[in-house]
């Protein structure tokens, strides 16, 4: 009797397990772990690591970062969006991922009290808006989108750093009126006009707008400073062509509330550089240049806040 009963119980348990598994498969979309998104788990892990560090009463390293406390690193592309394919035949999305992980680990090693969060932790497609929105949600002090370059011909070589065009960061007067902008230089911040043209009743709105404009202008200036800092450090580490700091209309930078840049670490399409960039040695140099940039930028922000 008890023999039969135990078998029945086993059968019920197996049936329940099968049901549960089938239910799991049906209820949660692919790429999720029992309904919990993996980036969420890893982000929580990053946060938990920082909190436990504080709770353990561990002091921050003597010379830690002061202003840059949360860094969001964005490994360019992912999933369906493979990015460029160069001479080494390795997709850009894998190279940016490797670079991002290494950078994250090295920052953690040096500054265990600083939060470093990736926008994606595995081969997953994400919209540009999602990446920036995520950085804003995390309250990041810095956003770095990592990429490798490609050109239609094989002569293009070197590294460059981008930040968002002023016209994209701050709508100028012409843009507000819907008129075409002649050049990026002509675009002004638009700080002067809102108060003068508005009626007394909407004075508070004007103040809010003024604050927003000032925030945008500061974000733009700091992005430029960060781009310059990164480009200078890449120049010290990489023996390639310095293509300079550039401003462009990059979707991945639009809407960012913190200093935000796109780093193009080298050309995948160049016969020599395309081979170099997939090597560990090149990746290490870029990582070192970026860590030094984080430190330099932090020091500049500290310096600025004293004025
Ligand atoms: Zn790219």
By DSSP bridging, strand 115-118 and strand 70-75 are: parallel
Overall residue count recorded for the chain in this entry: 307
- Pairing state of beta strands 36-37 and 32-33? antiparallel
Q: Given this model, what pLDDT does residue 192 score?
A: 37
CA of 232 to the centre of ligand 1 (A): 21
If you measure from the C-alpha of residue 144 to the centroid of ligand 1, how many angstroms do you get, rounded to a whole number? 12
Annotated domain spans of the chain: 38-306
126 alpha carbon – ligand 1 mean position (Å): 13
Residues of the chain whose pLDDT is less than 70? 1-62, 168-204
Distance 83 CA to ligand 1 centre (A): 5
Which 8-state DSSP code applies to residue 201? G
For residue 120, how far is its CA from the centre of ligand 1 (angstroms)?
14
Q: Residue 234 has what pLDDT?
A: 98
The pLDDT of residue 18 is 47
Separation of CA 30 and ligand 1 centre (Å): 25
What pLDDT is attached to residue 205?
A: 76
pLDDT the model gives residue 7:
56
What pLDDT, on a 0 to 100 scale, did the predictor assign at position 1?
47
- Within 10 angstroms of residue 126's Cβ, the number of other Cβ atoms is 19
The tally of CA atoms less than 13 A away on the side-chain side of residue 34 is 3
Rounded alpha-carbon distances, angstroms, from residue 291 to 42, 117, 237, 297: 22, 15, 12, 10
Q: What does the pLDDT look like over 217-263, one tens digit per residue?
A: 999 999 999 999 999 999 999 999 999 999 998 889 999 999 999 99
**Rounded distance, CA 15 to CA 6, Å?**
14
**Domain 38-306 superfamily per CATH:** Zn-dependent exopeptidases (3.40.630.40)
Three-state secondary-structure class, residue 33: strand
User: How far apart are the CA of 132 and the centre of ligand 1, in A?
Assistant: 15
Ligand 1 center from residue 264 Cα (angstroms): 7
Q: What is the Å distance from ligand 1's center to 285 Cα?
A: 19
Q: Give the distance (Å) from ligand 1 centre to CA of residue 207.
A: 38
User: Ligand 1 mean position to 84 CA, how many Å?
Assistant: 6
The CA 149 to ligand 1 mean position distance, Å, reads: 6
């Amino acid at each position: 009797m008890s023999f039969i009963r135990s078998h029945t119980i086993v059968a019920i348990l197996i049936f329940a397990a099968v049901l549960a598994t089938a239910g799991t498969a049906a209820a949660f979309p692919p790429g999720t772990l029992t309904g919990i998104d993996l980036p969420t788990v890893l982000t929580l892990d990053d946060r938990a690591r920082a909190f436990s560090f504080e709770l353990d009463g561990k002091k921050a390293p003597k010379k830690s970062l002061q202003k840059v406390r949360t860094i969001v690193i964005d490994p360019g592309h992912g999933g369906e969006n493979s990015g460029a394919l160069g001479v080494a035949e390795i997709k850009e999305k894998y190279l940016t991922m490797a670079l991002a992980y290494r950078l994250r680990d090295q920052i953690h090693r040096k500054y265990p009290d600083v939060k470093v969060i990736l926008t994606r932790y595995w081969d997953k497609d994400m919209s540009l808006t999602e990446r920036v929105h995520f950085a804003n949600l995390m309250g990041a002090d810095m956003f770095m989108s990592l990429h490798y370059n490609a050109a239609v011909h094989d002569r293009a070589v070197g590294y460059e750093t981008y930040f968002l065009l002023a016209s994209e960061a701050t709508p100028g007067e012409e843009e507000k009126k819907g008129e075409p902008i002649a050049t990026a230089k002509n675009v002004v911040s638009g700080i002067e006009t809102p108060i003068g043209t508005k009626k007394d009743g909407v004075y508070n709105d004007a103040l809010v707008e003024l604050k927003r404009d000032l925030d945008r202008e500061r974000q733009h200036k700091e992005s430029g400073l960060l781009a310059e800092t990164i480009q200078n450090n890449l120049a010290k580490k990489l023996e390639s062509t310095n293509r300079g700091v550039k401003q462009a209309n990059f979707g991945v930078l639009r809407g960012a509330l913190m200093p935000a840049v796109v780093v193009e670490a080298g050309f995948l399409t160049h016969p020599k550089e395309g081979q170099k960039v997939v090597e560990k040695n090149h990746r290490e140099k870029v990582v070192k240049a970026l860590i030094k940039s984080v430190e330099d930028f932090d020091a500049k922000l500290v310096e600025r806040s004293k004025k």
